[in-house]
């Protein structure tokens, strides 16, 4: 959206009504959030994907609530306009509704996120309703749900059979009815994603779900080739920050080893009389 006014749930819904594409990008720290915000990103997702791209885990499962709050604090300091959404990590919303509500509340109060994202379908309707009643905006997430990757049997496209497609549509409609204000669809056939985007009144954000969604989300590190070794098919690389950073570090290490850095322009000096007062006349260091 044009202008510098902060993005809200209302403006995100308005973007769908007006046919404006919604741009979402992940960020996990202050500088990434600041750059994304200045570049005009509409929504920043503090994704539990930080487990893999920042913390070095093999999946999102080990990520804790404290991890998410810590990184959300950094992101919200850097984002002035973008709408910040934070993932609720593994097993923080699968107990009682009240326990999940407390966890969501911590993300909002301590991390200063503007919404939470949860993975799952109709089984989450009671939680979505309770969060909405408590004033916590919720983004749903269906299709490939990374927190359930072991149950799903790997990172596979979801909804390819008529039965599976109907289940996803039913889940999407249930989450909308419960009060979710937006929905992420991951690794869903483009035809199904477009159909659901037309059926839903809330915005859909695709990741590996084709161009028929109301918006798109990708991982910061993936689009910049920054430390991401295994990039999914649905990712387009827009830069090669990783090579640039490695080249700079290699040059720095080489200059230190050969004595080319630091030079006089990178150092500080003190007056000779001050040196003499410290060590005596004629002292050379």
**What pTM was estimated for this model as a whole?**
0.92
User: pLDDT at position 145, please?
Assistant: 84
Q: Residue 276 to residues 49, 60, 206, 264, 267: CA-CA distances in angstroms?
A: 57, 60, 68, 21, 20
Tallying the residues shown for the chain, one arrives at 285
pLDDT, residue 146, reads 76
| Superfamily of domain covering 9-239 | Phosphoenolpyruvate-binding domains (3.20.20.60)
Q: What are phi and psi of 2, to 5 degrees?
A: -75, 155
The reply, when asked if residue 87 is annotated as ligand binding, is yes
Annotated active-site positions, please? 186
48 is in an annotated binding site: yes
| Per-position pLDDT tens, the chain of length 285 | 446 899 999 999 999 999 999 999 999 999 999 999 999 999 999 999 999 999 999 989 999 999 999 999 999 999 999 999 999 999 999 999 999 999 999 999 999 999 999 999 999 999 999 999 999 999 999 998 877 766 666 668 889 999 999 999 999 999 999 999 999 999 999 999 999 999 999 999 999 999 999 999 999 999 999 987 778 889 999 999 999 999 999 999 999 999 999 999 999 988 888 888 887 776 666
Tell whether residue 240 is among the known ligand binding residues.
no
Strand 204-207 with 182-186, pairing: parallel
Q: What is the pLDDT of residue 151?
A: 67
Name the one residue in this structure whose structure tokens are 């596979």: 156
Give the domain ranges of the chain.
9-239, 244-279
Asked if residue 228 lies in contact with residue 50, where contact means CB atoms within 8 angstroms, the answer is: no
Per-residue confidence (pLDDT) for residue 285, from 0 to 100 = 60
């Amino acid at each position: 959206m044009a202008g510098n006014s902060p993005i809200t749930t209302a403006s995100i819904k308005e973007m769908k009504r007006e046919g404006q594409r919604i741009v979402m990008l992940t960020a996990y720290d202050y500088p990434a959030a600041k750059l994304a915000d200045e570049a005009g990103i509409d929504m920043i997702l503090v994704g539990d994907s930080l487990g893999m791209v920042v913390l070095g885990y093999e999946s999102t499962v080990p990520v804790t609530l404290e991890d998410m709050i810590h990184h959300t604090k950094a992101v919200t300091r850097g984002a002035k306009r973008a709408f910040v959404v934070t993932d609720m990590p593994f097993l923080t919303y699968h107990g009682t509704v009240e326990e999940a509500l407390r966890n969501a509340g911590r993300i909002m109060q301590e991390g200063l996120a503007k919404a939470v994202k949860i993975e799952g379908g109709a089984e989450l309707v009671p939680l979505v309703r309770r969060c909405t009643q408590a004033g916590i905006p919720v983004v749903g997430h269906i299709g490939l749900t990374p927190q359930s990757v072991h149950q799903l049997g790997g990172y596979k496209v979801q909804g390819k059979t008529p039965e599976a497609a109907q289940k996803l549509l039913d889940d999407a409609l249930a989450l909308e009815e419960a009060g979710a204000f937006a929905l992420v669809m991951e690794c869903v056939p483009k035809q199904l994603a477009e159909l659901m985007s037309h059926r839903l009144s809330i915005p859909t954000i695709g990741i590996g779900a084709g161009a028929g969604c109301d918006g798109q989300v990708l991982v910061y590190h993936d689009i910049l080739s920054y430390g991401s070794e295994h990039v999914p098919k649905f990712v387009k690389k827009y830069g090669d920050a990783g090579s640039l950073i490695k080249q700079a570090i290699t040059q720095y290490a080489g200059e230190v080893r050969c004595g080319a850095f630091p030079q006089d322009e990178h150092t500080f000096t003190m007056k000779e009389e001050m040196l003499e007062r410290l060590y005596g006349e004629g002292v050379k260091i």
